[in-house]
Amino acid sequence: MPAYEHLFNFVNNLGFPIVVSLYLLHRFERKIGELEQAIKGLIQVIEPYKSKSKE
């Protein structure tokens, strides 16, 4: 069964708004993970400067 048939079955069974919401949640989850890694990297870069400013 091709992938598009699975998609049509989901839309028929769940409804279009729910399928779109699930798709967007999946995409946002990946983007949030990337943002989390970027923030951790920034924290590592800023940490040495933070201790110098307290002196």
Average pLDDT, the chain: 84
Whether the pTM exceeds 0.85: the reply is no
Q: What is the pLDDT of residue 5?
A: 83
26 is written with which tokens? 């999946």
Give the alpha-carbon dihedral of 24, 40, 38, 33, to 10 degrees.
-20
In this predicted model, what pLDDT tens digit does every residue of 35-48 receive, in sequence order?
A: 999 999 999 999 88
C-alpha separations of 15 from 6, 22, 24, 44, 52 in Å: 13, 11, 15, 44, 56
Question: Domain residues of the chain, as ranges?
Answer: 3-54
**Residues 5-31: what's their mean pLDDT?**
84
| Per-residue pLDDT band at 31 (split at 50, 70, 90) | very high
Q: What is the pLDDT of residue 53?
A: 67
